[in-house]
Amino acid sequence: MGQITFSQAIEGYYFFAEARGLSPNTIRDYTNTYNKFRRFLQLYLPVAEITHHHIEAFLLDNTHLSKKTRLNYHISLSALWTWMLKENIVEENILRKVAKPKPAQRTIDPFTEQDIKLLLASCKRSSAYRRPRQIEPGNHALPNPERNEAIILTLLDTGMRSSELCSVQLKHVDLRNRKIKIVEGKGDKDRVVPLSARTCKSIWKYLTTREHKEPVDHLFTSKKEFPLNKNALNKLMPRLGKRADVPHVHPHRFRHTFAITYLRNGGDPFTLQHILGHSDMTMTRRYLNIAKRDIESGHFRASPVANWNL
């Protein structure tokens, strides 16, 4: 092939990505990385002239970002170079010469039962406040209480990702049979997950507040019935946490809570892997190890043999 520029290579890769059926979320993340790398290069270099030193310099230029973000940059660029190698556009995958950033494993801290009860209560009324010359503190009703409660229970009951929650359409929800279809943001594979009766009731109650409901409409929307997006969801959760006085409230923490509680209550790890949409058991094993430690700790505290000095 001739001297293909980085911009031309990106355009060709998009055709491949769409034909392969990569999810819109994946393509959007890759696009963000490619655009940043293109701006970093500041030159219209043929891809054959881009070396692993350019990649290393790009990653070093972004050390202010988390290692997880830089790892995603590495993965995105590696996908592009793997495709270019297969298409004989380049002679090697230069990403193999670049060490992957290794993000530290985050501490998994699930919500407690009391945390969830406080969060649900925070959906209805504002925090107490006192206006000038007001003797007793007051509060007021909040918008979208039914929606926010349904969001909390759906995240907690299914362990779905925030992107998956925002993608759920009304046609994916079967309240009568207590099931919800999740279209994955990763791998573009669908899975069907059971719902608890309590969650179904909450979703039903929320839907009674909606005026227009077509099968292709999103399950969760804004007050003006625009689809709820990840950005809005990520802003909503800390606000609920602040009112409930529960720290570190974010959508993914509900996923952790579901997984660990599921295993604590005797759930099967392989079924959990399917429910969460994990491609392998790596993350499920992390949840399983935490659940096992909890069980061992609980046994030590509660066992009569350990506590009665027999």
Between 77 and 280, residue with greater pLDDT: 77
Say whether pLDDT at 138 is over 50: no
Distance in angstroms (rounded) separating the CA atoms of residues 161 and 217: 19
Average pLDDT over residues 64-78: 92
C-alpha dihedral (206, 210, 216, 222), degrees to nearest 10: -80
Average pLDDT over residues 244-265: 94
Average pLDDT over residues 193-204: 96
pLDDT tens digit sequence for 139-177: 555 779 999 999 999 999 999 999 999 999 999 999 999
Q: CA angle at residue 297 from 291 to 303, to 5 degrees?
A: 125
> Which region holds residue 159: left if phi is over 0, alpha if psi is between -120 and 50, else beta?
left
pTM of the model: 0.70
Q: How confident is the model at residue 188 (pLDDT cuts 50, 70, 90)?
A: low
Distance in angstroms (rounded) separating the CA atoms of residues 77 and 74: 5
Instruction: Kindly list the structural domains of the chain, giving each domain's residue range(s) and its CATH number in brackets, ordered by start.
Output: 6-97 (1.10.150.130), 113-126+140-302 (1.10.443.10)
Q: What is the reported pLDDT for 71?
A: 93
> Which residues touch 280 (CB under 8 Å, ≥6 apart)?
273
Average pLDDT over residues 267-293: 88
Say whether pLDDT at 111 is over 50: yes
Distance in angstroms (rounded) separating the CA atoms of residues 101 and 73: 10
H runs (alpha helix) in 265-303: 269-276, 282-302
Distance in angstroms (rounded) separating the CA atoms of residues 258 and 276: 9
Between 202 and 293, residue with greater pLDDT: 202
Helix (H) or strand (E) holding 194: strand 190-194
Tell how strand 190-194 and strand 173-174 pair up.
unpaired
Average pLDDT over residues 224-238: 92
Distance in angstroms (rounded) separating the CA atoms of residues 161 and 259: 12
Say whether pLDDT at 248 is over 90: yes
Q: What is the reported pLDDT for 116?
A: 96
